Amino acid sequence: MKNTILVVGSVALDSVKTIHGSTTRALGGSAVHFSLSASQFTPVKMLGVVGEDFPAPFRRFLKRRNICLEGMEVLPGKTFHWKGKYDQDFKNATTIATHLNVFEQFKPKLNADHARCGVLFLANIDPDLQRGVLDQMGRPRLVACDTMNYWITLKKPSLLKLLKKVDMLFVNEEEARQLTGEYNLIKAARLIMKMGPRGIVVKRGDAGAMLFFKDNVLSVPAHPIERVVDPTGAGDTFAGGFMGYLAAAPDWKNFNVIRRAMSYGTVMSSFSVEDFSVKRVGRLSKPEISARFNKYVGALHVK
């Protein structure tokens, strides 16, 4: 199971409004967006919690995408529900309502198969929960995590303990600066690597992403998209493409492999914004991914 990814994060029902329309109680959540992207490259096991209202068609849809749902717990009550809207520039989401519901009771419990997964991705949840999952794992060959400004503010000591045990960290520009107190992203990344991770991915929205790995620095542009419909989950989709490709690779520490992973993450993220919820990524085919990847890396001269 060395190539199988265990992802731990939120499973949600999202209600989103943009200039192109709206969707109500659509499938979402960090673990879902990540899993649908990563499962294009390698097997995925998903750990999360839903309520009794979680639609059966959503469960069947996820299973069809090579995602194991043995770790998706069902608790009495309602599924985590986020409601938000985006302005015309899509840069920031305005939260209208957040109903944690059963997600507030989430205490991840791994079974034996989960603990044997070779790759672990800790999506954006409480760092105490992230550390609890890591403590239940065997000896994964690759551990990565995501976080956000909320946890950096409220639980920085716990987050710092976690960072000592992870290989890769995903953050955005604001979070990298908040975590380190350093505005320059190169300096901020070097400070974060001293905290433990050997690699940092800084997500920059429509400006692309930056990778810091050992002494290497790489900046990649976003794939141009003419019509952005819904950017919800784009960062998790990026992480899924990135981690999925790394998990399937024999040697994830090879910098050329990581460079290609950055491109796959970018490509997967570009698909995700083309429709609401997981509609676009959910109907993706491998030939579509390969075609866009080849076009993207061809423009960048990535080999």
What parts of the chain have a pLDDT lower than 70? 302-303
Residue 253's CB is within 10 A of a number of other CB atoms, namely 15
Architecture of domain 5-300: 3-Layer(aba) Sandwich (3.40)
What residue has token string 């992480």?
239
Q: What is the DSSP string of 38-73?
A: HTTTS-EEEEEEEETTS-HHHHHHHHHTTEEEEEEE
pLDDT for res 88: 86
pLDDT for res 303: 53
In the sheet with 93-99, reading across from the earlier edge strand, the strands are 21-28, 12-18, 81-86, 93-99
pLDDT for res 205: 86
| Domain segments of the chain as ranges | 5-300
Strand 199-203 vs strand 209-213: parallel, antiparallel, or unpaired? antiparallel
Give the residue ranges of DSSP H helices in 100-155: 112-115, 127-136, 149-154
